[in-house]
Amino acid sequence: MLPTLPNRGWIRVHFFKKGERKNLKIGDIVSYHSRGFTREGKPSFWHRSNCVHRIIKLDDEYAYIKGDNRMYIEKVKLKDIHGILVD
């Protein structure tokens, strides 16, 4: 998420409680568990982790998420997003 977020810096995330409505919108920075992709979008077991990226598109079931310093767009189920960055 460089240059938006500092490298190895602290961020504050509001984690959604079970059943809490997620009022997500394009431009929100969210926390989710990535299924594992390299920077180029190739599947990779070694890259599975919790990620913080920006929503660039939404539909009824999915959020399309991309890091600010990344080319690949990841399709994530809305139920798999577990937090949102707060100021």
Per-residue pLDDT of the chain (87 residues; tens, 9 = 90+): 677 777 777 889 999 998 888 999 999 999 998 777 666 667 676 566 788 999 999 999 999 999 888 888 888 999 889 999 997
CA distance 41 to 72: 5
CA distance 10 to 13: 10
pTM for the structure as a whole: 0.80
Q: Is residue 43 one of the residues assigned to a domain?
A: yes
Please tell me the predicted confidence (pLDDT) of residue 18: 86
Q: Is residue 63 one of the residues assigned to a domain?
A: yes
Overall residue count recorded for the chain in this entry: 87
Q: Please, are residues 42 and 36 in contact by the beta-carbon 8 Å criterion?
A: no
Q: How many domains does the chain have?
A: 1
Q: Is residue 3 one of the residues assigned to a domain?
A: no
Q: Which residues fall within 8 angstroms of residue 59, CB to CB, at 6 or more apart? A: none
